[in-house]
Chains A and B, each alone.
Chain A
Amino acid sequence: MKSTQNLHPNKAFKFGRGKWWLLLLFLWLGAANAMAQLSVSGWMDAGDSQIDKNGFVSLAGIASYQNGLYSANLGYSSYFTEWRERSTNGYKIAVGRENTLGKVNFQSSLFYLRKPVSNQMYEWDLGLMLSKNWSHLQLNLGGHYREIRLKNSARKEFPDTKIVENFNLLYRLSFVHELGTQKWHFGATLTNYDHFLLLQETNPMAHLSSQFEVMQNLHIFSEFWYRSAGFNNIQVHYYGYFFRLGASWTING
């Protein structure tokens, strides 16, 4: 039986060799094709929640590669808080396509997310997302399949043990407004997911955002997120909040 202290060992941050190769592949793809567009986004979250004794800090980044109608994304997130056994919060890979149906243009993407929960269990998700932008409105709708599983070492003792959610609806509705010079954008969003967090449809989150165009290929953004618990139980309760500060840079395009 583990003691209280042993539940929270300080794990060193590790970025494995496989992930470096993937990152290099992305950079090569971007550089090798003049038609391609490569961009990177990085951000830091800081906040608090009911499960964080002294708050948390999270660092994350996504590299995106776009060539014509097609795109691919690779993401990584780390999360630092007292209770976590692992600093890695998730890896994500997504492929997308620009589509036209009649006169309607929309984007579709297929993604895979893996989240190490602890030293003995992890979550993986597979999902599909459809996105449509209007002048002031952005709507994302999708769904995903989730499994929470034991790792191989633990599975020897408890084979075939997993928790499955066959389908969760994913939604994001954003209102975005530009200020006169178009350098500033402000938005308000209702959603049940973030890049590395896919909540069930009955756990909505809200966030306010702003974005500033520093240069044509460089933007900085900030967001304030609010999370509640028990909303659909008609017993709503504060769960957490966080601030996000980040930048996105289009390397070529």
Chain B
Amino acid sequence: MDYQRVSIHIFALLLWFLATSCLEDVDFSGFVTNDTPVNERFEQSQQWNRQNPQRTRGTSEDSYQLFVAADVHIGGTRNFNQFIHAGVQSNVQAFILAGDVVTGHKHDYDTLKNHLQKIPSIPVFMVTGNHDLYFKGWDYFYSYFGSSTYTVTMETPGGNDLLIFLDTGSGTVGRDQLAWLQKTLTTRNNYRHCIVVTHNNFFRARHTTSTNLQLDELHLLLDWFYDFKVDMVIMGHDHRHSIEQFGPTTYITMDALLDGFKHASYLSLQVTADGISYTFNQL
């Protein structure tokens, strides 16, 4: 086969790939540019945090339940509806969405907003994933749901728990957010338990084409979470669940809740005075 024919085949394959695969939900400009850098998003998140009351959730008992999902990728809402329905039935204290909640399109953000308005009595806490940022998605996330870097205090009679939400949608925590995290972790002693929620999975449990955090940033986070005895770190992004224990911290990477995904599951967390237990619930 001569060089020219090979070139034509490669070009045709590329064209086919660009024209047919997944392209509607992937913003390829992200290979070369970033609409809102992580430090800028962090600054906006902090501004939102200053202008809005601290997020808290009180319970009348020492034990409570949280439902966690990741990589829902709305568009489709069948699995998401099941997740919400199960949570309402279980009387959870909050829903947590660990990023890639939507595809980044405005109409998908609208769909999410409409669904969440149906459950006003249960708060939903979420962070951005890379897909949420496609198509200038941060603008919609911020205007609909506010901050992507914040803390939530779960108040129980026996003590408070700290939930820390980190924005890793750009594949890095970033300088400013790291400084905020370090300061936030110094308050860890005031809480019973500490859970960190973010999107980008820390560990490469299997080979995929997706990018993890940079190694030196990972080293720093592992060290801090060890030092401050963070109980649990919940992540998404990889679409297949894995569990790692490192020192006092359990690192959980979630299955995707994406419609049509064979292994779709969500996590139920049972938080008690003694600790945090978890169960994966397959859909």
Contacts and interface: CB of A to CB of B under 8 A. Distances in A.
Interface of A: 1-4, 7, 49-53, 83, 85, 117-118, 120-121, 123, 148, 150, 154, 157-158, 161-163, 165, 167-168, 197-200, 202-203, 227, 229-239
Given A1-B228, A199-B215, A200-B212, A233 B171 contact: yes
Interface in B72-111: none
Contacts of A157: 247
Contact of A158 (B170, B212, B219, B248): B248
B172 A53 contact: no
Given A163-B203, A163-B244, A231-B211, A51 B223 contact: no
Contacts, number: 154
Nearest to B223: A118
Contacts of B204: 165, 168, 200
Contacts of B219: 117-118, 121, 123, 148
Nearest to B216: A51
Contacts of B208: 202
In the A-B complex, the 6 residue pairs with the closest CB atoms: A230-B171, A234-B30, A229-B172, A229-B171, A237-B170, A235-B130
B226 interface: yes
A242 to B, nearest CB: 12
Interface stretch (B43-51, B114-122, B153-161, B176-184): B176-184
B223 A121 contact: yes
A161 B225 CA distance: 14
Contact of A154 (B27, B38, B209, B247): B247
Nearest to B174: A50
B20 interface: no
B214 A229 contact: yes
Contacts of B34: 230, 235-238
Contact of A1 (B217, B223, B229, B247): B229
A118 B26 CA distance: 38
A120 B223 contact: yes
Interface of B: 26-28, 30-34, 37-38, 130, 133-134, 169-175, 178-179, 182-183, 186, 188-189, 200, 203-204, 207-217, 219-220, 222-224, 226-229, 237, 244-248
Contacts of A3: 186
Given A165-B204, A238-B37, A232 B214 contact: no
A6 to B, nearest CB: 9
B167 to A, nearest CB: 11
A50 B246 contact: no
B223 A236 contact: no
Given A53-B179, A163-B203, A235 B134 contact: yes
A202 B213 contact: no
A202 B238 CA distance: 13
A168 B206 CA distance: 10
Contacts of A237: 34, 37-38, 170-172, 174
A229 B27 CA distance: 16
A45 B200 CA distance: 29
A161 B245 contact: yes
Contact of B130 (A7, A49, A120, A230): A230
Q: Name the residue in B30, B216, B245 with the highest tally of chain A Cβ atoms < 10 Å from its Cβ.
A: B216
A194 B237 CA distance: 27
Given A120-B226, A158-B248, 17 more contacts: A51-B214, A51-B220, A120-B223, A121-B226, A123-B219, A161-B245, A163-B203, A203-B211, A229-B171, A230-B169, A232-B210, A234-B28, A236-B33, A236-B34, A236-B171, A237-B34, A237-B172
B121 to A, nearest CB: 34
Nearest to A158: B247
Nearest to B173: A50
Contacts of B186: 1, 3-4
Contacts of B188: 1
B222 A148 contact: yes
Name which of B28, B175, B204, B214 has the most chain A CB atoms within 10 A of its CB.
B214
Which of B26, B211, B215, B237 has most chain A Cβ within 10 Å?
B211
Given A50-B174, A168-B204, A231 B31 contact: yes
B189 A1 contact: yes
A236 B215 contact: no
Given A120-B223, A154-B247, A158-B248, A233 B173 contact: no
Nearest to B219: A117
Contact of A202 (B170, B209, B229): B209
A230 B178 CA distance: 17
B246 A162 contact: yes
B209 A229 contact: no
A230 B211 contact: yes
B87 to A, nearest CB: 28
